[in-house]
Amino acid sequence: MLPNKHVFYGAIFSFMIWISFPIPLWGIVLVFASSVLIDFDHYLWYVVKKKDWSLKNAYNFLRYTDHGKTLMVFHTVEFLVLTAILSYWWIGFFYIFTGMIFHSALDIMEMGRRNLKYREFFLVRVLF
């Protein structure tokens, strides 16, 4: 899913949470930011692969690239679990976790819509 769609849906999701639950504004900002910025791992993958720091080049490249079995570390179950565990020590991590789960749900729905067969969600399967 393209970043502009994540921004749009993330804004709607954050607004719905804001009007539904007594969460402080900084928590809503964390939900929104994490629902978009989780895709930073795509940019990091591009930088490592192409050795190019241009955000514009990365966007143009990634827009037309099927990531297939490429591991996006912020999208892994292990990273989500780590964020959930950290939320026991600081509530901000729970807001971050919420945004990341929403983002991942959007990605999975997009994969189904586009009939994409595979994406790696487990770090341990890549490491072992």
HSE, side-chain direction, 13 A CA sphere, residue 108: 10
pLDDT in tens, 24-63: 999 999 999 999 999 898 899 899 989 999 999 998 888 8
The pLDDT of residue 116 is 66
What integer pLDDT is reported at residue 118 of this predicted model? 60
Q: Per the confidence metrics, is the pTM higher than 0.85? A: yes
Give pLDDT tens digits for 74-100. Answer: 888 899 999 999 999 999 999 999 999
Half-sphere exposure for 84 (CA within 13 Å, toward CB): 9
What pLDDT is attached to residue 108?
A: 84
